[in-house]
Amino acid sequence: MLVLTRRVGEGITIGPDVRVVVVEVRNGHVRLGVEAPRSVEVHRDEVRARIIQENRQAAAVGSIPVEALRALGRGRGQA
């Protein structure tokens, strides 16, 4: 992993059009500003990590409470 030291107000450039700037450092928290085209998705690591974890659990499906789910669909159309 490339490690760089930056001060508040300084930043780094990634590729042709992504820029990350250190906005504020306080009490162990670092606020970052990200300038990127709209086509580049930017998410906190933990959101993606939680979705991966949830997908793994969802993929491990065993038995399904079919009747409970049927009750949900009844009278409200089909998926």
Partner 1 sequence: MKIETSRFGTIEVPEHAVLTFPSGIIGFPASTRYAILDHDREAPFKWLQSLDDGRLAFVIMDPALFKPDYCPTVTPVLRAHLGAADGDEVAWFVILTIPANQAGPVTANLQGPVAVNLRTRLAAQVILSEEHPIRYPVVECAGGAAVSEPTAQARA
- Any contact of residue 46 with partner 1 (CB under 8 A)? no
Q: Which stretch binds partner 1 (CB under 8 A): 7-15, 18-26, 27-35, 52-60?
A: 52-60
- Any contact of residue 15 with partner 1 (CB under 8 A)? no
29-35 and 18-26 as β-strands: parallel, antiparallel, unpaired? antiparallel
What is the closest distance, in whole angstroms, from the C-beta atom of residue 47 to partner 1 in the complex? 6
DSSP 12: E
- Any contact of residue 54 with partner 1 (CB under 8 A)? yes
H-only helix segments in the chain: 45-59, 66-73
- Any contact of residue 12 with partner 1 (CB under 8 A)? no
DSSP 1: -
- Hey, which residues does 35 pair with through a beta bridge? 19
- Any contact of residue 63 with partner 1 (CB under 8 A)? yes
